Chain A
């Protein structure tokens, strides 16, 4: 065990490769000597803890671990092929996400393989950061810490950690204490601290579970529980489940100045002025008059009366307080009181099984206090890990400037960001998928975190680094009996054996090490006296969060579910506002606040009050990598105002808006027309109408439809062509299209149902598809033409409609005019919105097929509309003839590493799915219903010599969907759930009148109009 010792004092081990390190850990972890015996070459390919005999090249291994992309701590199952993580999927066993996974969680892979990650330790020499060795870096760190300790300055050293749950915070505090350093600040710019505090006080739980199913009415006061407020995935699961009940599903009212994704999923929208929510809550609680509330909110009093009546009448309601105003704390308290008064606590609001995600999170206020201390020169040393306060704080805080006053700054971040770029020493941490750890998302359940593969770069887990440093200090070494952080985790759950037993699900009962967050010292800052006719709402981007996702092309290319903007920052304003200052979509406007100003293209958004502007946070980084530079940084507009709990007041800034010298930018959006023009693509029906049986869809009979019999299941001439000799029962040689053929291919009809009552438009399916099918992102500024590019900048390709998303989320406004002509009516501000995921419909009579001159697309016996990449010559006729416009063309060599348009710069290409071709330039591609998964399942069952079980597997989009709206399977077999759903009374096909016999069946969305009001479908 010589290696072992050398590893145990990691600091001094020079030449030890990470994989040897892991191997030895494997040995000490009793993972049998097999690992040790395996040959070097194989070893390279073998992920940690799997002995070679378990790994078959070309066959995936799956590792359960915990997602670290946000505080929620969802469970992951990471698919690893030949030692490389290729797909992150939800862990079905996990209490938080139950197998679902949001776009950000899936993009963790692009954090792991991010081309801009630090590849080794760095230290500052002059102005530049230069590469160095771990020995050197660790010596510097030890020396500095020793210095601090000896001088007794420890108490003034600050450690800012990206908030995460589990044992690490406590472990960290322990190590820090060893050097006399105060407990660290666990910072999360996304945490709604005011709500947390109020909940804690009111319910005794910071984040109670919300049981939407138990509610008959949901009222959200700016609580965007589907995008950015709390824990998106579990909340969306619960919400979709409730709405999916159709009958007895809760009605949902959204109160807020801007309709977020959550707001668009509401049945009714009450556009209350920012800051007036409290008045409305009081009106409901009887503490104020509806008239006064309506006055304050700037809406018709009828709306408030209706709301009050409904809440008072509701059997069980779920009232949720969000709001990023300065009074967020007060609002949350008032709402909590109201919930208590209405007896919702325990019914819809369940503190008992709450989430611990935000335990001990520090707010904006601590960052400001820290900045002040740094400015005062009181901070001798600053350590940062993953948190990026230099970017996620208001300019008034002046964090970056303050850092300059700190003599020595250390960062443990593994990717560059604004804060890290100012540091003197960088000790890159492992990515979450390379690290050990644990989380306690719900009380008593530990969700373990284990490495899924060999580290991509020469990084080291911060915990191990700290351990090494501590052990290097004789006075501390005694405290740490375990070799490394894995040992620590094992020791917490009773030893290695327990750990090994727990790892298959990564779930074990137990509690994470508890820590006491440092008492808050600073007092809140209230907004300065502000001027400006508009209130500016800066909101957390549903795709990029507070900005931490900005360097992941998948997230940059994922259209915002509401605005459908990607790669760009826009100033959202109501059409009336746009008219008032005389701008149209894309014309540059300048928003000016007390803090700063921002110039960006205008975008009219009908879901916004005319006296309010909105800008998404998260873009416009200066030092966070190549993709993160897209767009503008809205944090620069923030006034350093805070709410009662010290959270940043994102919606309390006054702003002025002027047109910027008539310049124009193309809006980077995937939206063509935002209206359906009465074409019935995304259909909705009001519940009363549905109950009255008015949906009566069934299957219509059309002129000139195929005369021959269809296969069972979906109405589709899959196996016998509609008119030809294959239709004639006694015709010979139907080949594979014969249902009697030995292959049995024609017996199946792969199909999909999508329940629009559940779909919230969150777009997780889109990212899942990118990850599964190696879809290139095309929006980077260097992915356009090389010579005389006629359009430049981020999103240039997208402005030409060249995004490649095989599945896209269409968002249709149900309005009778162009959005730019919508006027705001305080009495009736409401409008319906329908989301619909659109992908290849795998038509039985596919218009794209007969026009292809080379059979590059044809109809497979199992109902798939097949695309043969290497037969395609690229006439693009198929796309022209596709009514759904779901075929995507490779305009450039996105898959060719030698080109500027290459979409997978090393090591991003490590993520590519080996089962799926990376398409070359000049060919057409489209949704395949994840044919590689179909084949895999078919091979598996044939190897195991059995029949395929109903719902045995599913597509990437269905698997990820946090609404569980997508169901995939064999419509020709009654036992598959898709066959049942396809017969639902809400079922319909898009453009059925075109006789395409699609294999994708949509279930109408169900609207829940106000009890009194008539159906609004």
Chain B
């Protein structure tokens, strides 16, 4: 069951009621992130940070390793400097950390947000990217009527069933 709203607060109220009535799980659409919705849904913490941490650590290790091993592989003295000069190699540690860390963060986001996806699947409406909010409520057939009434009561501009 899908409801399209044009106001934020009515969407929030609808969500709250649907949740307390245990009407199956909800997917909320909004053109822009709003705290109100987040509070209403109060989802678990995003797991992106794990990816970030792992990426960053492996990055810094690789950065230092390539520089030090590469220097030692052909030990050539230049300018009377040490063969492996740790201090300047911080540059490599840092830069590679940022590179790998950031990329794995993005990967993490894609992975957790379930994108990229090729089809729009059910329950999407172009309006959601424009100005309207939406609630997609997957509920058992017998709850359909009730869900629809809730959505309507809270002033959904359109309510339709989707298979």
| A847 contacts B by Cβ under 8 Å | yes
The distance in angstroms between the C-alpha atoms of A225 and B64, with both chains bound, is 65
Which residues of B15-36 are within 8 A (CB) of A? none
The distance in angstroms between the C-alpha atoms of A847 and B78, with both chains bound, is 8
Could you say which residues of chain A place their CB within 8 Å of the CB of B81?
Answer: 721-724, 850
| B80 contacts A by Cβ under 8 Å | yes
The distance in angstroms between the C-alpha atoms of A733 and B74, with both chains bound, is 11
| A953 contacts B by Cβ under 8 Å | no
Contact among A706, A725, A852 with B78 in the assembled complex (CB-CB below 8 Å): A852
Across chains A and B, the number of contacting residue pairs, with CB separation under 8 Å, is 59
Question: Which one of B78, B79, B80, B83 has the greatest number of beta carbons of chain A within 10 Å?
Answer: B80
User: Which DSSP category, helix, strand, loop or mixed, fits chain A's interface?
Assistant: loop
A721/B77 in contact, CB under 8 A? yes
B76/A726 in contact, CB under 8 A? no
Closest B residue to A846 using CB positions: B79
User: How many A residues are at the interface, by size bracket?
Assistant: 20 to 34
B80/A735 in contact, CB under 8 A? no
A706/B77 in contact, CB under 8 A? no
Could you say which residues of chain B place their CB within 8 Å of the CB of A722?
Answer: 80-81
B78/A850 in contact, CB under 8 A? yes
| B47 contacts A by Cβ under 8 Å | no
A726/B77 in contact, CB under 8 A? yes
The distance in angstroms between the C-alpha atoms of A724 and B87, with both chains bound, is 12
A845/B75 in contact, CB under 8 A? no
| A737 contacts B by Cβ under 8 Å | yes
Could you say which residues of chain A place their CB within 8 Å of the CB of B78?
Answer: 846, 849-850, 852, 855, 857-859
User: Which DSSP category, helix, strand, loop or mixed, fits chain B's interface?
Assistant: loop
Contact among A706, A725, A846, A848 with B83 in the assembled complex (CB-CB below 8 Å): A725
Could you say which residues of chain B place their CB within 8 Å of the CB of A858?
Answer: 76-78
| A717 contacts B by Cβ under 8 Å | yes
Which residues of A820-850 are within 8 A (CB) of B? 844-850
| B58 contacts A by Cβ under 8 Å | no
Could you say which residues of chain A place their CB within 8 Å of the CB of B106?
Answer: none
A859/B79 in contact, CB under 8 A? yes
The distance in angstroms between the C-alpha atoms of A721 and B82, with both chains bound, is 6
Could you say which residues of chain B place their CB within 8 Å of the CB of A846?
Answer: 78-80
Could you say which residues of chain A place their CB within 8 Å of the CB of B76?
Answer: 855, 858-859
A724/B85 in contact, CB under 8 A? yes
Q: How far is the CB of A746 from chain B (nearest CB, A)?
A: 10
User: How many B residues are at the interface, by size bracket?
Assistant: 10 to 19
* 0/1 string, A848-867, CB within 8 A of B gives 1: 11111001011100000000
Q: How far is the CB of A884 from chain B (nearest CB, A)?
A: 14
The distance in angstroms between the C-alpha atoms of A60 and B74, with both chains bound, is 35
* 0/1 string, A652-694, CB within 8 A of B gives 1: 0000000000000000000000000000000000000000000
The distance in angstroms between the C-alpha atoms of A722 and B84, with both chains bound, is 13
A737/B77 in contact, CB under 8 A? yes
The distance in angstroms between the C-alpha atoms of A717 and B79, with both chains bound, is 9
Could you say which residues of chain A place their CB within 8 Å of the CB of B85?
Answer: 724
Which residues of B75-100 are within 8 A (CB) of A? 75-85
Could you say which residues of chain A place their CB within 8 Å of the CB of B79?
Answer: 845-851, 859
Could you say which residues of chain A place their CB within 8 Å of the CB of B82?
Answer: 721, 723-726
Q: How far is the CB of A297 from chain B (nearest CB, A)?
A: 55
The distance in angstroms between the C-alpha atoms of A848 and B75, with both chains bound, is 17
Which residues of A713-746 are within 8 A (CB) of B? 717, 721-726, 733-735, 737
The distance in angstroms between the C-alpha atoms of A852 and B76, with both chains bound, is 12
Could you say which residues of chain A place their CB within 8 Å of the CB of B84?
Answer: 724-725
Question: Which one of B79, B81, B84 has the greatest number of beta carbons of chain A within 10 Å?
Answer: B79
Closest A residue to B72 using CB positions: A733
A706/B75 in contact, CB under 8 A? no
Closest B residue to A717 using CB positions: B80
Which residues of B82-127 are within 8 A (CB) of A? 82-85
Closest A residue to B74 using CB positions: A855
Q: How far is the CB of B88 from chain A (nearest CB, A)?
A: 9
Closest B residue to A852 using CB positions: B78
Q: How far is the CB of A4 from chain B (nearest CB, A)?
A: 62
Could you say which residues of chain A place their CB within 8 Å of the CB of B80?
Answer: 706, 717, 721-723, 844-846, 859, 997
Q: How far is the CB of A828 from chain B (nearest CB, A)?
A: 46
Could you say which residues of chain B place their CB within 8 Å of the CB of A997?
Answer: 80
A733/B77 in contact, CB under 8 A? no
Q: How far is the CB of A218 from chain B (nearest CB, A)?
A: 45
Q: How far is the CB of B71 from chain A (nearest CB, A)?
A: 10
The distance in angstroms between the C-alpha atoms of A614 and B22, with both chains bound, is 109
Could you say which residues of chain B place their CB within 8 Å of the CB of A723?
Answer: 80-82
Question: Which one of B75, B78, B82, B84 has the greatest number of beta carbons of chain A within 10 Å?
Answer: B78
Closest A residue to B88 using CB positions: A850
Which residues of A93-113 are within 8 A (CB) of B? none
Could you say which residues of chain B place their CB within 8 Å of the CB of A850?
Answer: 78-79, 81
Q: How far is the CB of A994 from chain B (nearest CB, A)?
A: 12
Closest A residue to B76 using CB positions: A858
B83/A726 in contact, CB under 8 A? yes
A859/B77 in contact, CB under 8 A? yes
A737/B75 in contact, CB under 8 A? yes
The distance in angstroms between the C-alpha atoms of A290 and B138, with both chains bound, is 124
B74/A724 in contact, CB under 8 A? no
Q: List 5 A-B contacts (CB under 8 A).
A: A726-B83, A733-B75, A845-B80, A851-B79, A858-B76
9 extra interface residue pairs, beta carbon distance < 8 Å, beyond A717-B80, A721-B77, A849-B78: A724-B82, A725-B82, A725-B83, A845-B80, A846-B78, A850-B81, A855-B74, A858-B76, A858-B77
Residues of chain B having any CB pair with chain A under 8 Å: 74-85
Pairs of residues from A and B, 5 with the lowest C-beta to C-beta distance, nearest first: A724-B82, A849-B78, A845-B80, A850-B79, A722-B80
